[in-house]
Amino acid sequence: MTAELISVGTEILLGNIVNTNAAFLSEECAKLGLSCYYQTVVGDNEERICETLKLALSRSDIVIMGGGLGPTQDDLSKEVAAKVCGRKLFLDEKCKKSIEEYFAKKDTPIPDNNWKQAMIPEGSVILENPNGTAPGVIIEYGEKRVILLPGPPGELKPMFRDKVIPYLMKMLPGTIVSKIVKVCGIGESAVEEMIEDLIDAQSNPTIATYAKTGEVHLRVTASAKTEAAANKLIKPVVKELKNRFGTAVYSTEEHVTLEMATVDLLVANELTVSTVESCTGGLVAGRLINVPGVSDVFKSGFVTYSNKAKRKIVGVKKSSLEKFGAVSKQVAEEMAAGAHAINKADVVVATTGIAGPDGGTAEKPVGLVYIACYVCGTIAVKEFRFSGNRALIREKTVAASLCLMRECLLEYMSKNTFGKK
């Protein structure tokens, strides 16, 4: 079964907002086993929305439209969908009441144009929206389905999860089950090479790769009559992926992030951690602090952006800075060792690099980064050469820092050089 995404909004075309809804819906459709071959962004123009919807219905079973359900005159998705599907609009009293209750909670008067949002195509399935005033709508158009969702991500995402997924599950033949395998420290092209034979031979289950910053996610999806049967198909494939990627697999759970997996290792071994950062400016500490329960192990985070700060705060030698430069293996190592000397953290990760766009040379180009990880007396340092703009280089450095920390923790655990205190 095929699904197609249409994002409605001139502000998306102009680049005023980032279209995060399309990424979310694509991933959710993949989880359901829906094939998504086309995505379109169309502005707030009735004729163009109409043409886009007609084309989508000609080639896809399910069309999901996000946006254009607001109260203003340029919100046209519902009106266009009703026209294309030959439905009249009527004032739904339940939707009207929901709008009244929404504004009553805010203790503000209801603008007259908001009643437009209670106009529903005849014969539609109405999707209640507890997070806003625009209800979602599903138009059953013969064997096709047109699903209209509000544009704000805080409304679209919960509506899709809570209302649309259960509806689609009833339409799908049998049961679709998927399992995620999350890999860090290996690039997407290398990951694909390592499983090329599995992808070439796949039928059911299928394997799809998704590149993330510093990691790759592999989604294994199976279709079967029952959930148990689908899981039985998935299990040996996941086992094979784990065998091939070994310790690079940090989780097979949807909700687990790389920082969560890293913090879990620290907590399990009762090890404290500190960060000392230059080019990342506290982003590594921020990722770690995102994890609930990290307060049990996180001691402190230092941002030593200038050379003076590196010397005064964590004791980097002036001679090292002069001889090797701030972006060097030697300085990264001294940053990690210095942070440990201050607060005796069991684990310290240090970053120093050239994020750009300026500051690079032929010898030390933009994107050159050194990351050091201290674990109970031993320091490992890695050199990286990242590409991209300033923000992306910093983001890649954070991901690489978490990967290196996790790698060092696993290595020392395997050698039994430390255990629980």
Angle at 210 between CA 209 and CA 213, to 5 degrees: 135
Alpha-helix residue ranges (DSSP H) falling in 183-305: 188-194, 196-201, 227-245, 258-268, 283-289
**Residue 415 has what pLDDT?**
82
The reported pTM is 0.80
Backbone angles phi and psi of 247, in degrees to 5:
-70, -10
Tell me, what's the pLDDT at 320? Answer: 98
Q: Domain boundaries in the chain?
A: 2-171, 175-251, 258-414
Q: Tell which CATH architecture fits domain 2-171.
A: 3-Layer(aba) Sandwich (3.40)
Give average pLDDT by consecutive 10-residue segment, the chain, 421 residues.
96 95 93 91 97 98 97 96 97 95 91 95 96 96 97 97 94 88 95 95 91 94 92 97 97 96 96 98 98 97 98 98 98 98 97 96 97 97 97 97 97 69 41
CA–CA separation, 32 vs 24, rounded Å? 13
For domain 258-414, give the fold.
Maf protein (3.90.950)
Helix (H) or strand (E) holding 374: strand 368-375
Q: For 175-251, CATH number? A: 3.30.70.2860
Q: How many CB atoms lie within 10 A of CB 370?
A: 24
Q: Where are the alpha helices (DSSP H) in 107-226?
A: 153-159, 165-171, 188-194, 196-201
Quick check: 384 and 371 in contact, CB under 8 A?
Answer: yes
Instruction: Please check whether residue 160 is in contact with residue 131, taking contact to mean a CB–CB distance below 8 angstroms.
Output: no
Neighbouring-strand partners of residue 149:
66
The reply to whether domains 2-171 and 258-414 share a CATH topology is no
**Whether 160 contacts 21, CB under 8 Å:** no
Structure confidence at residue 421 (pLDDT) = 41
Burial of 362 (0-12, 13-18, 19+ CB in 10 A): exposed
pLDDT at position 32 is: 87
pLDDT at 416: 64
